Amino acid sequence: MATASENYKLVTDYYGSFGEGGPEGLARMLSFFAEGKANYTAGNSEFAGTQNSPAESEKVLHRILELNEGNLQIVGTPTILLAGDAMVAVLLKEKHKRAGHPELIVPRLCVYEIADGKLTRSFIWQLESEAYDAYYPRP
* 96: exposed, middle or buried (Cβ count in 10 Å: 0-12, 13-18, 19+): buried
Tens digits of residue pLDDT in 73-119: 889 999 999 999 999 999 999 999 999 999 999 999 999 999 999 99
Q: What is the DSSP letter of 45?
A: B
Phi, psi of 12 (to 5 degrees): -60, -45
Q: What is the DSSP letter of 57?
A: H
Tens digits of residue pLDDT in 38-51: 999 999 999 999 99
pTM: 0.92
- What are the structural domains of the chain? 4-135 (3.10.450.50)
* 25: exposed, middle or buried (Cβ count in 10 Å: 0-12, 13-18, 19+): buried
